[in-house]
Structure 1
Amino acid sequence: MRYISTRGQAAPQAFCDILLGGLAPDGGLYLPQSYPQVSRADLDAWRKLSYADLAYEILSRFIDDIPAADLRAIVRKTYTAEVYRFTRNGGDAAQITPLTKLEDGLYTQELSNGPTLAFKDMAMQLLGNLFEYVLDKRGESINILGATSGDTGSAAEYAMRGKHNVKVFMLSPDGKMSAFQRAQMYSLTDANIFNIAVTGMFDDAQDIVKAVSNDAAFKKQYKIGAVNSINWARVAAQIVYYFQGYFLATGGANGSNDKQVSFTVPSGNFGNICAGHIARQMGLPIKQLVLATNENDVLDEFFRTGVYRPRTSAETSVTSSPSMDISKASNFERFVFDLVGRDAAVVRELWAKVEGGEAFDLSQAPCWADLPKFAFVSGRSTHADRLATIRLAQEKYGVMLDTHTADGLKVALEHRQAGVTMIVLETAQPAKFEETIREALNVEPVRPAELAGIEKLPQHVVVMAPDVAAIKAFIVERV
């Protein structure tokens, strides 16, 4: 399996090379040259597997430069009930991502049972183990530069803390995350973890990561790597739970692969739902991929109108679902690459506009007629919608939702189809967003006992302006 850039001006690479590299040298994102196809026989066999063994079967289709025995050992080390132990609603920790039934044909899928109570742990724990394995084999080290709008940062830091040959420099928007999210990141004391709060929005932090990654000389000299979802390994790992969710919703080990299901995905950076798109392209029977945004609705606008109009930081709203306060969806480039028939020249032209601060409009392009075959629909949610949906879920189903999953359920209910099971992917546990849960329900969300009082711990963070040169200097002083 070789990987190509969405912008077509980088040589094809093997998996382990792009794992450490992040962005392609031409500024594009890596994707497989073709998506491996899954047969009916594969589906029949895979539904009987444990989560770790399912992960091996899927990831081995994308990774051929790690010996099979080593890859199997890595995924079995990653996906254990001990790591993903914070289950709720009667979920079985052994399933890793159990379903919670709301009513007939409507489920949420628990993706936030890992150490930081967010779905990012599903991929990030694997990424940490892959990094350690590859760096050890090569005798190399890496300095990870990332940006987070809320959950990626803590998931990355918890996955990489204490790993030898790895340092993490994580940018976050100063004061924009929840108190719990800030505490999870800033309270870490590991010597290889550095937190930088940027005076701006997430998109400012993400722009810095891209600028540093596009400086080939700096990137090479200081061994800069990425853990944001621009890293293909993150997306690949997320493909697995779509298969798992499908199997659980259609009868488990003894079920049938005759039915289609739909997935609703709260979306900010497009990485999570991009994994669903790839699962569908591989052959998983997905009827619809329902994209849910909050007030920062750049992605909803595209799927409704064909116009992709990234917003400036000043135009980006600070909301009660902060992990989706994103107006430049970096993974969206991967989908557009597929939508335009994998024509890299078209992608280069479109992203030259985006990087110049302009919008692009595909509504009159020939590829727009092909959009229905990718089965995307979309919707948006507001703070009032979140509160109402959190109350609905608690009162009707006896289930407490976090703010992002509430956005997802609100949009899912608008797009349900008769006879088609709908699975809403959970984003995080409600404990991460106590302020809004109190506002909606006037109760305190339950959090794991070992995370009680985390906000009272000393915090270690440096506040900096969104200045590329200053961030580079900070990294150089510490590597």
Structure 2
Amino acid sequence: MRYLSTRAASSDAASSKSFCDILLGGLAPDGGLYLPESYPQVTRAELDAWRGLSYADLAFAVLSKFIDDIPADDLKALVKRTYTAETYAYVRGGGDAAEITPLRWLEPGLGILELSNGPTLAFKDMAMQLLGALFEYVLAKRGEEINILGATSGDTGSAAEYAMRGKKGVRVFMLSPAGRMSDFQRAQMYSLQDENIHNIAVRGTFDDAQDIVKAVSNDAGFKAKYRIGAVNSINWARVVAQIVYYFKGYFAATQSNDEKVAFAVPSGNFGNICAGHIARQMGLPIARLVLATNENDVLDEFFHSGAYRPRSAADTHATSSPSMDISKASNFERFVYDLVGRDPAVVRKLWAEVDAGRGFDLAATDYFARIPGFGFVSGSSTHANRLATIRDTFEQYGVVVDPHTADGLKVAAEFREAGVPMIVLETAQPAKFEATIFEAFGRLPERPRALVGIEQLPQRVETLDVDVQAVKDFVARHVEA
């Protein structure tokens, strides 16, 4: 299995790389994102054989399609150590921790795939815990170290830090938008005292933080000197790990592989739903991929109009589903690469416009007409919608959902189809967003005992302006210390 940049010529064999080569780097040198030269296909016989597998065994089967430069026994051991009932022990309502991602039916044909039973109570743990294990393994084999530079709108940061804390050969520098996350999210990150974890609050939006990460990654000299790597969803390993739970959710929702399902996915950076797109391209019987946005509806606008218009920081709304307060979806480039027939020249042209602060419009092109063939539909949700959905879901089903999952449920309701189960991917546990839950129906959600009072713990964070050089100086100072 070889990987190419979305901006490199597919015939350029010299530019293709193995999984381990791209694991540590994030962005390709040309600024593009890595994807397999072609998507591996899953046969009906394989689907039949995979249906009864445990999560860890299913993960090994799926990942083996994409990773052939880690010995099979080593990869299986890594996966087994990652996906354990002990790691994913925060199960609500008497669920089975051994399931890792239990499917909770709300009513016939409508279910929530629980992805937030990991240590930071967010779906990001599903991929990040594996990424931490992979990093430590590859770095040890190569005798190298890495300095991870990332940006978070809420959940990626804590998931990355919990996955990497104490890992040999790894330092984490995580940027977050100052004042734009929930108190719980800030406390999860900033209260960590591990020496290899460094938090930087940026006086701006998530997009500002993400732009800084990209700018540093595009400085080849700095990146090489300070061994800069990435754990954001631009990292291919994050995406490939998320493919696994689409298969797990499909098997949980169906009796046979003749059936189809739909997945509704709250989406900001397009990484989670990109994994669903790839699972569908592999042959998983997905009827629809329902993309749900909040008031920052750049992606919803594209799927309705063909226009991709990233907003400025001033025009990016601070909402009650803050992990989706994103107006430049990093992983969207991966989908567009497939949409335009994997033509890197087209991608380069389109992202030259994006990088110049403009955007592009495919409405009058054949590309836009291809979207239905990829199974995508979309919708958006507002603060009022979230409150109503949280309240209604509790009143009807006795289930409390977080604001992002509420966005997914609201948009999912617009696209339900008789005979096709609709699976909403859970984003986080409601304990991470107590203020919004309380506003919805006047009571606080339960939180795991180990996390009670986390906001009162001492916090360690540096606040910086939106300044690429200031971040570079911070990284250099701590690496060289």
Counterpart position of 2:435: 435
Q: What corresponds to 1:359 in structure 2? A: 359
1:48 equivalent among 38, 43, 52? 52
2:235 corresponds to: 231
| Residue 210 (structure 1) aligned with residue 214 (structure 2) | yes
Q: How many residues of Structure 1 are paired with residues of Structure 2 in the alignment?
A: 475
- Show the counterpart of 1:294: 294
SS, match of residue 262 in structure 2: strand
1-structure distance, mates of 2:6, 2:476: 30
Q: Which runs of 5+ in 2 are unaligned?
A: none
- Identity, in percent, stands at 74
Match of 1:363, as an amino acid?
A
Identify unmatched segments of 5+ residues in structure 1. none
**1:91–1:99 CA contact under 8 A, matched in 2:** no
Distance in 1, matches of 2:263 and 2:183, equals: 30
Give the Å deviation of 1:419: 1.0
CA offset at residue 441 of structure 1?
1.3
Looking at structure 1, the residues matched to 91 and 411 of structure 2 have their Cα atoms a distance apart, in angstroms, of 24
Question: C-alpha displacement at 1:89, in angstroms?
Answer: 2.9
* 1:274 corresponds to: 274
Q: CA deviation at 1:58?
A: 0.3
Report the secondary structure of 2:199's partner residue: strand
Using the alignment, how far apart are the partners of 1:323 and 1:331 within structure 2?
15
* C-alpha separation in 2, matches of 1:405 and 1:198: 27
Between the aligned partners of 2:359 and 2:94, the Cα distance in structure 1 is 46
1:414 alignment partner, SS class: coil
Contact 1:89 1:100 in 2 (8 A): no
Residue number among 126, 132, 136 corresponding to 1:128 in the alignment: 132
Determine helix, strand or coil for the equivalent of 2:94. coil
Tell me the secondary structure at the aligned position of residue 415 of structure 1: coil
Q: Offset at 1:91?
A: 2.0
Query: 1:246 corresponds to which residue?
Result: 250
User: Which position in structure 1 is the counterpart of 2:303?
Assistant: 303
Tell me the secondary structure at the aligned position of residue 413 of structure 2: helix
State the alpha-carbon separation in 2 of the partners of residues 398 and 47 from structure 1: 30
Offset of 1:429 from its aligned partner? 0.2
Q: Distance in 1 between matches of 2:423 and 2:157?
A: 26
Q: In the alignment, which of 52, 64, 67 is matched to residue 60 of structure 1?
A: 64
Quick one: which amino acid aligns to residue 457 of structure 2? Answer: L
Write the letter of the residue equivalent to 1:263. F
1:369 Cα offset (Å): 1.8
Q: Which residue of 2 aligns with 1:452?
A: 452
Q: Check conservation: 1:89, 1:399, Cα contact below 8 A.
A: no
The residue number in structure 2 matching 1:177 is: 181
Task: Please name the residue that 1:468 is paired with.
Answer: 468
Q: How many Å separate the matches in 1 of 2:94 and 2:374?
A: 34
Counterpart mapping for 1:11-26 below 5 A: 11-26=15-30
Match of 2:155 in 1: 151
Task: Choose the corresponding residue for 2:83, options 63, 79, 84.
Answer: 79
Alignment of 1:328-347 (within 5 A): 328-347=328-347
| One-letter code aligned to 1:428 | A
Structure-2 residue corresponding to 1:115:
119
Deviations 1:205-242 (A, max 9, x none): 00000000001111011000000000000000000000
Equivalent in the alignment of 1:372: 372
Alpha-carbon distance, 1:359 to partner: 1.8
Q: TM-score, length-normalised on structure 1? A: 0.99
Q: Which amino acid aligns with 1:353?
A: E
CA deviation digits over 1:330-370, x for unaligned, max 9? 00000000000000000000000000011201111111221
The corresponding residue for 2:477 is: 477
Query: Are the equivalent residues in 2 in contact too, given 1:296–1:325 (CA < 8 A)?
Result: yes
Amino acid at match of 1:292: A
CA–CA distance in 2 between the matches of 1:371 and 1:161?
41
Cα distance in 2, alignment partners of residues 207 and 286 from structure 1: 33
Q: CA deviation at 1:90?
A: 3.0
Q: In structure 2, what residue type is equivalent to 1:5?
A: S
Cα offset, 1:115, TM superposition: 0.2
SS at match of 2:86: coil
Deviation string 1:7-38 (CA, Å, 9 cap, x unpaired) is 01681110001001110000000000000000
Find the residue that maps to 2:173 and give its secondary structure: strand
2:141 — aligned with what?
137
Q: What CA distance in whole angstroms lies between the structure 2 residues aligned with 1:62 and 1:275?
A: 13
What residue number does 1:348 align with? 348
Amino acid at match of 1:7: R
Q: Supply the AA of the counterpart residue of 1:438.
A: F
**1:60-113 deviation digits (Å, cap 9, x = unpaired):** 100000000000000000000000010113321111000111000000000000
Q: What's the counterpart of residue 94 of structure 1?
A: 98
For 1:162, which of 160, 166, 171 is the aligned residue? 166
Range with greater deviation from structure 2 (195-204 or 2-11)? 2-11
- The residue identity in structure 1 corresponding to 2:75 is L
* Cα deviations by residue, 1:429-452 (Å, 9 ceiling, x for unpaired): 000000000000111100000000
Task: Say whether 1:28 aligns with 2:7.
Answer: no
Give the Cα separation in 2 of the matches to 1:92 and 1:380.
32
| 8 A Cα contact 1:318 1:325, kept in partner | yes
State the Cα RMSD in Å.
0.7
Match of 1:8 in 2: 8
Secondary structure in structure 1 of the residue aligned to 2:459: coil
Letter in 2 for 1:43: L
TM-superposed deviation, 1:472: 0.2
Q: Which amino acid aligns with 2:268?
A: G
